[in-house]
Amino acid sequence: MADGSPADSITIMGAGLSGLAAATLLARAGREVHVHDIRHDSGARFDGDFQALENWSMDADFFDQLERWGFDSNAFKSTSFSVVDLIHPDDVVTQAKTDGVAYRIVERGTSDHTIDQAFKRMAIEAGATLHYKSRIDEKDADIVACGPKDTSAIALGEIFHTSHPNHIAFQLNDKLAPGAYSYLIVIDGVGLICTCLWRKQKKSERFLNETIACYQRLYPDMDMQPVKRVGGKGDFTLNGFYTVPETGQHFVGESGGLQDFMWGFGMRMAVWSGVLAAEEMLGGKPYEKEVRRQLLPYVQTSVANRWLMNRVGDRTFKRMCVQWMRDQKRSGDGLRWIGKLFRPSLLKRLVFRVTSPFMLKRMEGPTRPLRLPFRKAKPRDTWEQSEAALEVKARWESVRRGGGHVSFTSNAEGEAQEISAISS
Ligand SMILES: Cc1cc2nc3c(=O)[nH]c(=O)nc-3n(C[C@H](O)[C@H](O)[C@H](O)COP(=O)(O)OP(=O)(O)OC[C@H]3O[C@@H](n4cnc5c(N)ncnc54)[C@H](O)[C@@H]3O)c2cc1C
């Protein structure tokens, strides 16, 4: 196939989680596998940001799944949490708790302990050949695993050093994170405050400055020495096909639209879809059918949730927080309410059927994707930064002048855009 390799070798485009998961299983089964990535390394799309492996949307624990598929869940650093501070839109802070693992925080990037590098090591050990800074034509790939193409939403964050103990906070606030949420993660002396923008904004960085100022107000004991600013885009598509009928190519992970449309969780489905694609290529069940059976109901539920999220603001966010806490009081488990939100139901299926034709836009492409457009800003998204946010901004500018790295940039209109790490 591509790269002059033998015709029965397998070519994968993208050495991220989904591509490497597929490569590992295929190579372990004795197939010749070549993975091509345009960046210089796996994880280079990210820059040391923390991401959450959620553990509430399905009955199965994700780490048990990883082990069952043959991946070593100890090969990367992960930190489990069973409690999260829930910050309501009116700044009330409550705690959601569970007896089990609510989620695990992992790091993305090119450091040894990241999940990306762990999957890279597993693929190499299995015998796959990885080609970095290598560009191939999409039509030459048997598996397309190259992450986002377009932008439906963005996330901006600041990474800092702190002496604050490990901590997680999740905030629903439509002013600071339009249509989405913000979060604080502190792991072993490194913190990340991140805000997600599900509406396209001018002067996007003011949302991050204001969010950091808010967390500083809510956690006055947390010291912060900013190190760098990170950012990334999410691409949300619902594909007509997961295996292209004419070519037999499998689209996995974010390339296959296998992500949560509501809040952007995607790592679990990335690995899962890579596994399903490999299984078909090793003589197992058809990928198209298995994606539709195992993953699509969750994606469709998340499309319905996104439709609902696009229609609400702080009043509904407050109601959600109150309901979440009431449910925890009744059931004794802080995961039950959030778990239900993510799980398929008849109502969500109905909302999905009725709303998705209006919400998603038909695009060109072999998988006949419907894309979630990056929505326009609302009049309420225009506001001036507070004094505290301006101080956050000034502090960051001084760090930046001293060499602080940033992985996003602004266009002429002040809209944040990912800086391509492709040439790095
Ligand atoms: C800021 C941010 C925060 C997130 N937080 C979370 C979270 O907390 N929890 C969660 O579960 N998910 C989160 N996600 C989503 C998650 O990162 C993705 O769903 C997941 O990484 C998708 O895996 P993938 O294998 O499809 O793509 P990736 O892991 O991104 O890998 C794609 C690979 O393809 C390569 N590539 C791109 N173009 C080409 C090309 N033309 N040719 C060859 N290679 C190419 C890239 O360099 C990259 O290595 C977040 C996303 C962002 C942007």
Mutate to test the pocket of ligand 1, among 53, 267, 271, 298 (most ligand atoms within 8 A of CB): 267
The CA distances from residue 404 to 295, 395, 399, in Å, are 40, 11, 5
For the record, the structure tokens of 121 come out as 């090591």
Q: Does residue 146's CB lie within 6 angstroms of at least one atom of ligand 1?
A: yes
Q: Does residue 38's CB lie within 6 angstroms of at least one atom of ligand 1?
A: yes
121 three-class SS: helix
Cα of 326 to ligand 1 centre, how many Å? Answer: 35
Q: Measuring from atom 4 of ligand 1, which residue has the nearest CA?
A: 51
For the record, the structure tokens of 303 come out as 């499309």
Cα of 41 to ligand 1 centre, how many Å? Answer: 13
CB 128 within 8 A of CB 26: yes
Quote the pLDDT of residue 415: 61
Q: Does residue 148's CB lie within 6 angstroms of at least one atom of ligand 1?
A: no
From the number of C-beta atoms within 10 Å of its C-beta (0-12, 13-18, 19+), residue 192 rates as buried
More confident residue, 8 or 221: 221
From the number of C-beta atoms within 10 Å of its C-beta (0-12, 13-18, 19+), residue 207 rates as buried
Q: Measuring from atom 15 of ligand 1, which residue has the nearest CA?
A: 266
The confidence band for 408, taking pLDDT boundaries of 50, 70 and 90, is: low
> What letter would DSSP give residue 243?
B
The confidence band for 13, taking pLDDT boundaries of 50, 70 and 90, is: very high
Q: What phi, psi does 349 have (nearest 5°)?
A: -65, -40
Cα of 347 to ligand 1 centre, how many Å? Answer: 30
Q: Does residue 415's CB lie within 6 angstroms of at least one atom of ligand 1?
A: no
Q: Which residues 6+ apart lie within 8 Å of 96 measured at CB?
A: 83, 84, 86, 102, 324, 325, 328, 334, 335, 338
CA–CA gap between residue 101 and residue 192 (Å, rounded): 21
Q: Does residue 42's CB lie within 6 angstroms of at least one atom of ligand 1?
A: yes
Least Cα distance to 392 among 204, 182, 216, 220 occurs for: 216
The confidence band for 410, taking pLDDT boundaries of 50, 70 and 90, is: low
Cβ-count burial 270-307 (b if 16+ within 10 Å, e if not): bbbbbbbbbbbbeeeeebbebbeebbbbbbbbbbbbbb
Cα of 234 to ligand 1 centre, how many Å? Answer: 8
pLDDT tens profile 184-237: 999 999 999 999 999 999 889 999 999 999 999 999 999 999 999 998 899 999
Reply yes or no on whether the pLDDT at 420 is more than 80. no
Give me the residues paired with residue 239 across strands. 369
Quote the pLDDT of residue 377: 94
pLDDT tens profile 103-124: 999 999 999 999 999 999 999 9
CB 155 within 8 A of CB 190: no
Q: Does residue 37's CB lie within 6 angstroms of at least one atom of ligand 1?
A: yes
Q: What share of the chain is helix, strand, coil (3-state, %, to 5)?
A: 35, 25, 40
Within 13 Å of residue 107, how many CA atoms lie on the same side as its CB?
A: 20
Q: Does residue 14's CB lie within 6 angstroms of at least one atom of ligand 1?
A: yes
pLDDT tens profile 146-171: 999 889 999 999 999 999 999 999 99
Quote the pLDDT of residue 6: 53
Concatenated DSSP letters of 314-370: HHHHHHHHHHHHHHHHHHS-TTHHHHHHHS--HHHHHHHHHHHHHHSEE--STT-EE
> What letter would DSSP give residue 275?
H
Q: Does residue 36's CB lie within 6 angstroms of at least one atom of ligand 1?
A: yes
Write down the H helix ranges in 37-92. 62-69
pLDDT tens profile 276-330: 999 999 999 999 999 999 999 999 999 999 999 999 999 999 999 999 999 999 9
From the number of C-beta atoms within 10 Å of its C-beta (0-12, 13-18, 19+), residue 268 rates as buried
Quick one: how far is CA 34 from the chain centroid? 25
Cα of 66 to ligand 1 centre, how many Å? Answer: 18
Q: Does residue 270's CB lie within 6 angstroms of at least one atom of ligand 1?
A: yes
47 three-class SS: coil
Q: Does residue 13's CB lie within 6 angstroms of at least one atom of ligand 1?
A: yes
Q: Measuring from atom 38 of ligand 1, which residue has the nearest CA?
A: 146
Reply yes or no on whether the pLDDT at 7 is more than 80. no
CA–CA gap between residue 54 and residue 40 (Å, rounded): 28
Cα of 17 to ligand 1 centre, how many Å? Answer: 7
pLDDT tens profile 45-95: 998 899 999 989 998 999 999 999 999 999 999 999 999 999 999 999 999
Q: Does residue 17's CB lie within 6 angstroms of at least one atom of ligand 1?
A: yes
Cα of 6 to ligand 1 centre, how many Å? Answer: 28
CA–CA gap between residue 176 and residue 320 (Å, rounded): 17
- Predicted TM-score (pTM) of the model is 0.95
Q: Does residue 237's CB lie within 6 angstroms of at least one atom of ligand 1?
A: no
41 three-class SS: coil
Least Cα distance to 145 among 26, 263, 49 occurs for: 26
CB 81 within 8 A of CB 101: yes
CA–CA gap between residue 244 and residue 247 (Å, rounded): 6
Q: What phi, psi does 157 have (nearest 5°)?
A: -145, 160
> What letter would DSSP give residue 291?
I
Reply yes or no on whether the pLDDT at 419 is more than 70. no
